[in-house]
Chains A and B, each alone.
Chain A
Amino acid sequence: MHNVSLLILLAIPLLASIVIFALPQGADLLAKQIALVASTITFVYVIVIGVGFKTSAGASRFQYSGSWTWIRSFGVHFAFGVDGIALVLIGMSTLLVPTVVLASWNSFDTVEDAEEAEPARRSSKTYFALLLLLEVFMIGVFAATDIFLFYVFFEAMLVPMYFIIGSFGGPRRQYAAVKFFLYSLLGGLLMLAAVIGLYLSAGTSSFAFTDLVGHVPNGATQKWLFLGFFIAFAIKAPLVPFHTWLPDAGAEAPAGGAALLVGVLDKVGTFGFLRYCLPLFPEASRYFAKPILVLSVIGVLYAAFLAMGQRDMKRLIAYTSVAHFGFIGLGIFAFTTQGGTGAVLYMVNHGLSTGVLFIVVGFLVSRGKSRLISDYGGAARITPRLGGVFLIAGLSALALPGMSTFISEFLTLVGAFTRHKGLAIVATTGIILAALYVLLLYQRTMQGTVNPRVLGFRDLNARELFAVGPLIALILVLGVYPKPVIDIINPAVKATLSDVGQTDPQPQHVAQPGGHK
């Protein structure tokens, strides 16, 4: 019962972060090296954990569990454990961190160029220390199996991200950082009320997830508690109409920060739906499923239209994410195995593809000093490697077959179709819109007449290629052979659905998950 693996996993980036904070001013290179090494070790350690993760039929739902009393009078434990969903999300997050470290290697160096558009507010060592601190909280939020502990990580996560946006972001970073913090905090505090209510109404003297599941009485209380959790997660995800903070935060955050913000932090919202909303409040989940599905579909279409209208590349990507979260919501609240598995897979794939997209756009912005689409044009001719990476990231975002996102989008739609045909059909049009906004973005920035501003651009160097290479490879591999990931996810999704008391509506003749190529 006391497996320390996950504690060690948390300790590695935490120690590295403390060490970097403690470094003297100016030791930027050392800070970067420590950050890179520590985040790589963390990722490797996650792989080791993943290899040891049992997916056989009799395997327990939470593995690597460990639990230590933290605050006795509340019944709060320092309890960790991963199910398949948490594991793949931790894997995705810990992969993104070293990528972001590499990609933003020189982004915040002391400014030699006085006309730098985004001058560093503080030393670059602070940035890397915050990044690692954020990683600690990201791992913690997925690995916590105590709801109080989850809440602590959920809120604590805001602080480093707030400073990353506010200290290292674009021109309107103050506004974006505060907006991000306040939206999330408001949601978080509503959730806190629900956490207290959950604890009291379940009548257990423990916050452990497994103790609380199935103990929430049905009826009005459960619906209110569900809403408390749901709004917090919907703001985090973000689901339309709670999404307005994301375009600002995503656009103003530095590229690496934006990749983690949209790639990982937002997944906490959808992860929360699956892990907490559904199992803890099954009756309320079924009660509210219809309106949430409708909201998800509205989100898919509405955000896609907004994305097409954007002139700012980072805002555009932020809106595409809102649209994709609509698909994830659709998959989760369809209550089918395909939908749930597709949604989790979508979270992973979306993290990878949006991460790459933000990083690549960051490369472009660092060259052109502008986020406006109209300031670019024909760049692929000058910088073919940048163009190529951009194209693959874009195609992944529009879920082209062969890319990992295709499988997840397909699964969520199939999962939704078996229960809600109409909604699934409407949502499918989102795929076409996605193709439209991604290809228009690519066309306007990379193809056509060469904008004179683009002429002096340097192509991707080895470091930059090495940063995005693994992600792109993974997107392609998972696009062809997603089975290992799906095998990990599937039992956890089934367990979740059985908590909700839902089984797949049809005989499984459609296909077994993993069969789609």
Chain B
Amino acid sequence: MSPLTVVAAAGTGTSSFTTPSISYAAIAPILIVLAAACVGVLVEAAVPQAQRFYTQVGVTLLGLVAAFVDVIAIRGHSVVTAGRALAIDSTSLFLQGTILVLAALSVLLMAERSVEFGSSIVAQAAVVVGSPADRRLATSERVQTEVFPLALFAVGGMLIFPAANNLLLMFVALEVLSLPLYLMAGLSRRRRLLSQEAAIKYFLLGAFASAFFLYGIALIYGYANSVNLPDVLAAQSTSGSSDVLLYLGFGMLIVGLLFKAGIAPFHSWTPDVYQGSPTPVTAFMASCTKIAAFGAILRVLYVGFSTSSWNWRPIIWAVAIASIVVGAILGLTQTDLKRILAYSSIAHAGFILIGLLSIDQAGLSSVLFYLASYGLTTVAAFGMVTLVRDANGEATHLSQWSGLARRSPLFAVTFAFLLLAFAGIPLTSGFIGKFVVFRAAYHVAAPLVVIALIGSAVAAFFYLRIVVMMFFAEPAEDGPTVTIPSVFTMLAITVGTAATLVLGVFPQPLLDLADNAAKLRG
């Protein structure tokens, strides 16, 4: 089949091409973010260097906030638009809103300049590590501002990803969100080698995952003669093609998605990339990318394969268990804060998957709640990691945090609170999140829930290790200090921490929101 006929078949079904109708109101948030990204590129070219940094920050935040306001304005919309390629329903709007908020908080972290000399982003990422130019760079005040438009492009992709009703569009969104992230991973000002390694690793493995994803689409097209998810669903009851195509295609598709969400056994990039990337970028990846990826997973599973759940449930079972076990057990052996949080995110991804197992509204809404609350806690946690510094930059080794509570009690208490939220202790949003997910999944997967709970007890051990270090150990002689950040980082941390507390004590509003949002449109 030639490419031309593929396009024709994916379009209207006839050989003539008609322009699809587009509901611009529904896709306005996406357009706003992408437009802001383009403005950012122009700013890069036109605005003098001295004003560029804060102009970029302003443009970026404005774009994100405007898009968020628009998402709120069009809440309740439920349309499938752009030639049935985009499903703007309440679930995708919820996820888009969440991504926008978390992206704005992450951008605030990226905009921090008083903690690190210049900013935490390197000015020239391509300079060879160790060369004279590189050494000059480490002390130069020059900053790099392309990171902001890059982040906006990534956010644009993330907004499309969970709303994509068409596998090809989903692939395009995947690439749009991934390519800027590959670059951003390599932008760390300190520990350049580690950062470049992270970028290369992420790029290579990400390219593999994309290839899997694309091949999966091809096989599914071969089976269903369409790449639209509702058509794929319909084909499963009518198609006479071999099921092998469908299963292979589904398997490859899901590999690509699980990779993006950082779920074992496709998680191996996570610790390295989280560790090597500039910490604000890590916060961005750990919250926004994860949410977008889960949004796509749940659309594929719930819209494209909802009737064959007997088929994929065992797979989700297996990867959920693998993720929880890998995250909890390997997390125990880590000594670097960012790597610990990376393994923690792998374990959390396993918990979220459990929510997906119950294919009903409760499951969907529990996943939405978990994603939002986990994202907020994560941004705050990574934001706090940026503040503990010594002469070599961020002090992320666990032993460097010993006795931190003695010097900075408020910092230590806040971070301990966030860790307790990760561990799922009551009165934090983490507990409510776990509760809704496990409650939703209990009637389909009670043994899995028990495994997950035991896993979270194991994972609690490494959160406790950090608390023990901070509170009960003697401070090191020349240990790091907690830098007082500017209002940007302060705001991001405060919002994340306050949300963790408020959602733990009064979760009802967000639960209602998630309940209302849990309506997918095929």
Q: Which residues of A contact B (CB under 8 A)?
A: 71-74, 121-122, 151-153, 155-156, 158-159, 163, 166-167, 173-174, 177-178, 181-182, 185-186, 189-190, 192-193, 196-197, 199-200
A74-B435, A74-B439, A182-B460 known, 5 other contacts, Cβ within 8 Å: A121-B472, A156-B426, A166-B468, A167-B472, A177-B472
CA distance A313 to B435 in the complex (A): 41
Query: Considering the complex of A and B, which 7 residue pairs feature the smallest CB-CB distances, nearest first?
Result: A189-B453, A152-B426, A186-B457, A166-B472, A155-B426, A174-B472, A73-B511
Among residues of B, the one whose C-beta sits closest to the C-beta of A153 is B426
Known A174-B472, A178-B464; contact A189-B457, beta-carbon cutoff 8 A:
yes
Contact with A along B449-466 (1 / 0, CB 8 A): 110011011001100110
Prevailing SS type, chain B contact patch:
helix
Known A71-B507, A166-B468; contact A178-B461, beta-carbon cutoff 8 A:
yes
Known A73-B511, A167-B472; contact A199-B453, beta-carbon cutoff 8 A:
no
Show 26 residue pairs from A and B whose CB-CB distance is below 8 angstroms, ordered by the A residue: A121-B471, A122-B406, A151-B426, A155-B426, A155-B431, A156-B427, A159-B420, A166-B467, A166-B471, A167-B471, A167-B472, A174-B473, A177-B472, A182-B460, A182-B464, A185-B425, A186-B457, A190-B450, A190-B453, A190-B454, A192-B434, A193-B453, A196-B439, A196-B442, A197-B442, A200-B443
CA distance A152 to B435 in the complex (A): 11
B381 close to chain A: CB less than 8 A:
no
Contact of B425 among A159, A174, A177 (CB under 8 A): A159
Prevailing SS type, chain A contact patch:
helix
Q: How many residues belonging to B are interface residues under a CB distance threshold of 8 Å?
A: 38
Q: B434: which A residues are within 8 A, CB to CB?
A: 192
A192–B472 touching, CB < 8 Å = no
Q: Which residues of B contact A (CB under 8 A)?
A: 405-406, 409, 420, 423-427, 431-432, 434-435, 438-439, 442-443, 446, 449-450, 453-454, 456-457, 460-461, 464-465, 467-468, 471-473, 507-508, 511-512, 515
> Shortest CB–CB separation between residue B60 and chain A, in angstroms?
35
Q: B464: which A residues are within 8 A, CB to CB?
A: 178, 181-182
> Shortest CB–CB separation between residue A187 and chain B, in angstroms?
9
CA distance A471 to B515 in the complex (A): 52
> Shortest CB–CB separation between residue B368 and chain A, in angstroms?
13
Contact of B442 among A155, A189, A200 (CB under 8 A): A200
Q: A73: which B residues are within 8 A, CB to CB?
A: 508, 511-512, 515
Interface centre among A73, A156, A197 (most CB of B within 10 A): A73
Q: B426: which A residues are within 8 A, CB to CB?
A: 151-153, 155-156
CA distance A73 to B440 in the complex (A): 12
CA distance A193 to B442 in the complex (A): 8
Among residues of B, the one whose C-beta sits closest to the C-beta of A188 is B457
B438–A196 touching, CB < 8 Å = yes
A199–B439 touching, CB < 8 Å = yes
Q: B435: which A residues are within 8 A, CB to CB?
A: 74, 192, 196
> Shortest CB–CB separation between residue B509 and chain A, in angstroms?
10
Among residues of A, the one whose C-beta sits closest to the C-beta of B505 is A70
B457–A174 touching, CB < 8 Å = no
Q: A197: which B residues are within 8 A, CB to CB?
A: 442, 446
> Shortest CB–CB separation between residue B410 and chain A, in angstroms?
11
Known A178-B464, A192-B453, A193-B450; contact A122-B405, beta-carbon cutoff 8 A:
yes
Q: B465: which A residues are within 8 A, CB to CB?
A: 178
A193–B420 touching, CB < 8 Å = no
A193–B449 touching, CB < 8 Å = yes
Q: B461: which A residues are within 8 A, CB to CB?
A: 178, 182
Q: B405: which A residues are within 8 A, CB to CB?
A: 122
CA distance A177 to B460 in the complex (A): 13
A178–B439 touching, CB < 8 Å = no
Q: A174: which B residues are within 8 A, CB to CB?
A: 468, 472-473
Q: A173: which B residues are within 8 A, CB to CB?
A: 472
CA distance A71 to B439 in the complex (A): 14
A71–B457 touching, CB < 8 Å = no
Among residues of A, the one whose C-beta sits closest to the C-beta of B442 is A196
Among residues of B, the one whose C-beta sits closest to the C-beta of A178 is B464
Q: B507: which A residues are within 8 A, CB to CB?
A: 71
